[in-house]
Amino acid sequence: MELQIRHVSKTYDNGVQALRDVSLTIPPGMYGLLGPNGAGKSTLMRMLATLQQPDAGSIHLGDIDVVKNPDAVRHTLGYLPQEFGVYPKVSAEELLMHFALLKGITDARIRRDVVHALLFQVNLWDVRKQNLGGYSGGMRQRFGVAVALLGNPKLLIVDEPTAGLDPAERVRFLNLLSELGENSVVLLSTHIVDDVSELCTRMAIIDHGEILLEAEPLKAIGEMRGRIWRRIIDRADLADFEREHPVISTRMLAGRTVVRVYGEQAPIGDFESTEPALEDVYFSAMAGHIGRRSELVATAS
């Protein structure tokens, strides 16, 4: 079952245009939507989850028209928003049983079997009797996935799922998402490049409501080879350096600044070619060196 998004736009009452003519084809598996805070990711996620409607455009999940037939989508949808509340004095097992009943699993034996299987799947079985108020951030996120998986959804939407997780919890959570992507469309919305790099077979980069680049992460990285250049400079020289070169990222190293520059050819000066990463693809697209912005600049010139 494929997710088709065609020419979707959304402008809020305050005049902010959250989405501008967004078109994407999202196949089964893990798909990453990558962009900074305020890029339009959450607006698109809420539309796919039938919580908002676009001003223009269409969205189809297989044969289901998401805009015109939201109830049909909800039967096959799992949604883990960026922030969700839990009842702190209720156990994970008890609350999941309640949500399963709301989902329409009325047979008590089937409901118990489904809930127990989900608690095993998200690795919360041993703490199923513990109140949710005592859960860590990662445990709460895994509980959220269990809720989202009720009903065996064909579309699973997760919005900024690893924000605030410690490294160990993040790895466990990403491994869980990777397993889920084997059987359904899993759309991962995030501003964390490494999440997409480690999980997704396809991705889109979005900023100011526009899709800047849609690609396979590994292929996009490969196409950047020979275009990323590295140099170490004094931090005091950074401002002048940025005026002279297309800098895409900087970071500190032993008190000095490591600068990465995009260039079709080697820049003048003491630069070395370096192996690209998905972060370089992301920053190059954001800066307009590759993707839709670069095409618009080329057309204008």
31-45 tens-digit pLDDT: 999 999 889 998 999
- 194 and 227 assigned to the same domain: no
- 100 and 117 assigned to the same domain: yes
- pLDDT for position 114: 95
The Cα 281–Cα 260 span in angstroms is 12
CA diameter of the chain: 72
pLDDT tens readout for residues 39-79: 999 899 999 999 999 999 999 999 999 999 999 998 889 88
- pLDDT for position 294: 65
Residue environment code for 80-111, b if the CB has 16+ CB neighbours within 10 A, otherwise e = bbeeeebeeeebbbebbbeebeeeebeeeeeb
- 292 — pLDDT class (breaks 50, 70, 90): confident
- pLDDT for position 171: 81
Domain that holds residue 272: 223-300
Other Cβ atoms less than 10 A from the Cβ of 301: the count is: 5
Is 109 strand, coil or helix? helix
Q: pTM of the full predicted structure?
A: 0.86
Q: Are 31 and 6 in contact (CB under 8 A)?
A: no
- 10 and 142 assigned to the same domain: yes
Rounded mean pLDDT, 87-112: 92
- pLDDT for position 301: 45
Percent over 70 (pLDDT), the chain: 97
pLDDT tens readout for residues 109-146: 999 999 999 999 888 999 999 999 999 888 888 898 88
pLDDT tens readout for residues 142-179: 898 888 889 888 899 988 887 777 888 788 878 888 88
Name which residue leads in pLDDT, 148 or 280: 280
- pLDDT for position 259: 95
CATH number for the domain spanning 102: value is 3.40.50.300
- pLDDT for position 161: 80
pLDDT tens readout for residues 233-279: 998 899 999 999 999 999 998 888 999 999 999 888 889 999 999 99
Does the pLDDT of residue 290 top 60, yes or no?
yes
- 197 and 230 assigned to the same domain: no
Of the candidates 64, 18, 20, 8, the residue with the CA atom closest to the CA atom of residue 296:
20
- 264 and 286 assigned to the same domain: yes
Q: Which of 148, 182, 215 delimits the end of a domain? A: 215
Q: Which of 162, 192, 215 delimits the end of a domain? A: 215
- 60 and 195 assigned to the same domain: yes
Q: Which of 190, 215, 240 delimits the end of a domain? A: 215
Structural domain total, the chain: 2
Amino acid residing at 33? L
The Cα 66–Cα 59 span in angstroms is 5
Does the pLDDT of residue 293 top 70, yes or no?
no
Cα torsion 54, 57, 62, 67 to 10°: value is 40
